[in-house]
Amino acid sequence: MTTSTVQKYLAPTRLEPALAALALPGGATVLAGGTDLAPQTEAGTRRYAAQLLNIRRVEGLAGIRDEGQAIRLGATTTVSEIRQSALLAQVAPALVQAAERFASEQIRNAATVGGNLCNASPASDLSPPLLVLDAEVELCSWRGNAQHTRRLPLAQFFLAPGRTLKEPDELLTAVVFARPGAGFVSRFRKAGPRPALEISTVSLALGARLQDGRLQQVRVALGSVAPTPLRARRAEAALEGRALDEAAIAAAVAAAAEDARPIDDVRASAWYRGHLVRVFMEEVLHDVAEN
């Protein structure tokens, strides 16, 4: 075992002591559901800081809140809660579809949205549906005896596998997105090596407003085809303002394949990943056109 020893375990119920622990020299390792952290520390690919900070009891970090114009997912909202949310089924069906295809019931009950984003895996399943919602992450820190809060578009948050724009003293406290307006459609697709407990080989989400048969404010996002989850900007441009006919669908399929930057790895070849991007793009667009 190459993991370092945890010297202090903290499980505060208020945000301030949690942020204060992160602000100390040496900081703290944040523990939410532990479904990424535990395997990583056990495998020796990640070391604990001297302080382990369990954030699951911190008031105000849990749950899904309807704020009228915006929807707020607290950082410790679990994948199961997303899956069971009637509000999200109505306003963000692709996010619920991603939660449905996520791991197993046991993992879904522990895994949190904050952990999924902060782990910054290119295969993070909640990222593509949140990217097509133009979601923002809320980051809090304790600096100079005061709490600081900033928001960043999720599209800018990821830097590389395991790396984000979050500073070590910052806690991701929430993910927030504007309530989608009338006519919003969204879809999610994911492929993995087996039917259950699968890490995505490729995932794709689409979000757009469908008005008079044309797509507006089109967002397409891809997972597992680049070092980070990403917006497929060429595919979005190919669809913006277009009627969903065969020509537009073919243009979007070709553009999405150009947006993807897949690699060969143990789970799939780059060729197969590119193929899945084409298939999923075509599938979701036909699905929207026919329904």
Residues of this chain that interact with ligand FAD (CB under 6 A) are 29-37, 39, 55, 75, 102-103, 107, 110-112, 114-116, 118-119, 124-125, 171-172, 197, 199
| Residue in this structure with the two tokens 């979050």, named with its chain if needed | 166
**Structure tokens given for 39:** 């395997």
In a 3-state reduction of DSSP, which class is residue 95?
helix
Q: Which is nearer to ligand FAD, 142 or 184 (CB)?
A: 142
| C-alpha to C-alpha distance for 26 and 51, rounded to whole angstroms | 8
Q: Which is nearer to ligand FAD, 35 or 97 (CB)?
A: 35
State in angstroms the smallest separation of the CB of 35 from ligand FAD: 3
| C-alpha to C-alpha distance for 94 and 78, rounded to whole angstroms | 16
- Cβ neighbours around 28 below 10 Å, total: 26
State in angstroms the smallest separation of the CB of 230 from ligand FAD: 15
State in angstroms the smallest separation of the CB of 126 from ligand FAD: 6
Q: Which is nearer to ligand FAD, 36 or 259 (CB)?
A: 36
Amino acid at 266: V
Q: Which is nearer to ligand FAD, 153 or 241 (CB)?
A: 153
Q: Which runs of consecutive H residues, i.e. helices, occur in the chain?
A: 15-23, 37-43, 79-84, 86-91, 93-100, 105-110, 113-118, 127-131, 154-157, 233-239, 246-259, 270-290
State in angstroms the smallest separation of the CB of 216 from ligand FAD: 29
Residue with the CB atom nearest ligand FAD in the bound state: 115
Q: Which is nearer to ligand FAD, 60 or 216 (CB)?
A: 60
State in angstroms the smallest separation of the CB of 118 from ligand FAD: 3
| Residue in this structure with the two tokens 């259950």, named with its chain if needed | 196
